[in-house]
Amino acid sequence: MQRKPHAVARSTTPAIEVHQLRKTYPGGVEAVKGIDFTVDAGEVFALLGPNGAGKSTTVGMLTTTIEPTAGSAWLGGFDVAVESLAARRISSVVFQDPVVDRAPTGRRNLELHARLWGADGAGTSELVETLGLAKLLDRPASTYSGGQRRRLEIARALVSRPQVLFLDEPAVGLDPRIRHELLDVIAGLRARGEMTILLTTHYLDEAERLADRVAIIRGGEIVALDTPTALLGSLGRELVELRVDGDASTALAPLRARDLAGDDAFAVGSTLTVPLHDRSAAAAIAAVGELGLVTTGISSRRPTLDDVYLRLTGDRLAAAA
Ligand SMILES: Nc1ncnc2c1ncn2[C@@H]1O[C@H](COP(=O)(O)OP(=O)(O)OP(=O)(O)O)[C@@H](O)[C@H]1O
Ligand SMILES: [Mg+2]
pLDDT digits (tens, 9 = 90+) for 142-187: 999 888 888 899 899 998 889 999 999 988 888 888 888 888 888 8
Distance CA 217, CA 5 (A): 23
pLDDT at residue 321 greater than cutoff 60: no
* CATH number for the domain whose boundaries are 236-302: 3.30.70
β-partners of residue 18 are: 37, 73
Q: Where are the domains of the chain?
A: 16-231, 236-302
The topology under which CATH files domain 16-231 is Rossmann fold (3.40.50)
The whole-model pTM stands at 0.88
Ligand 1 within 6 A of 320 CB?
A: no
Ligand 2 is a single-atom ion; what residues have CB below 5 A from it?
A: 55-56, 96
Which ligand has its closest atom nearest to the C-alpha of 316? 1
Q: What is the DSSP string of 255-286?
A: HHHTTSS-TT-EEETTEEEEE-TTS-HHHHHH
- Nearest protein Cα to ligand 1, atom 10: 31
* AA letter at 161: R
- Asked whether this chain's domains 16-231 and 236-302 adopt the same fold, the reply is no
> What's the confidence (pLDDT) of residue 137?
93
pLDDT at residue 3 greater than cutoff 60: no
| 194, 198, 204, 207: CA torsion to nearest 10 | 20
End-to-end Cα, the chain, rounded Å? 45
For the chain, the average pLDDT equals 88
How far apart are the CA of 299 and the centre of ligand 1, in A?
A: 36
Are the CB atoms for 26 and 77 separated by under 8 Å? no
Ligand 1 within 6 A of 96 CB?
A: yes
> What's the confidence (pLDDT) of residue 315?
53
